[in-house]
Amino acid sequence: MNILKQFYPAVAITIVLTVLLGIIYPLVVTGLAQVMFPAKAAGSLIEKDGKIIGSRLIGQPFTGPGYFHSRPSAAGSGYDATASSGTNLGPTSQKLMDNVKTAAEALREENPNAPIPVDLVTASASGLDPHITPAAAEFQVPRVARERGLSVETVRNAVREHTEGRQLGFLGEPRVNVLELNVSLDAAHSMIRNSSP
């Protein structure tokens, strides 16, 4: 049996499939995505005053009292897409319990009479989640309203407007995109401030 008779077809098929599936197919799919879904293909970026401030798909930390805060992140130093991961701490982990207890104590000072939503004291599996639950947003409404000088009902309405339902009506849970909510409140707060005497 001549080994070259088997070698050349194998090399040729490898080269053809590499070019076809490794170069042509990705270029076609990327091109179609750019034409059919340009915003999503570009990363679902959010702009403010002509400057990119984030993505709808990746969370970021907000620490100012006038902003809704994202859920904690265990990805690198926080929301680091190159270090995406959860804490991998199990329910019996003392470190997890200590982290939750510390976060809960800080939140109790902010809103002493309200139950603390779990997503405000635990990180998501990816560490990059851009959403919080409607309950986590509602927990923060009094602080944000007070700090921005807005009525509680105005802030609550903004939360309702930015609450996304379940995908296809049954997948996942309702959620609020923190970056989009904060950007809309910045715009509303700016308009109120500019219209005041």
Q: What is the largest CA-CA distance in the chain?
A: 93
Cα 178 from Cα 140, distance rounded (Å): 11
CA distances from 187 to 44, 138, 149 (A): 19, 20, 14
Cα 70 from Cα 177, distance rounded (Å): 9
**pLDDT at 68 > cutoff 90:** yes
CA 16, 18, 21, 23 dihedral sign is: negative
Cα 100 from Cα 72, distance rounded (Å): 10
Write the pLDDT tens digit of every residue in 117-150: 999 998 888 888 899 999 999 999 999 999 999 9
| pTM, to two decimals | 0.76
User: What's the chain's average pLDDT?
Assistant: 88
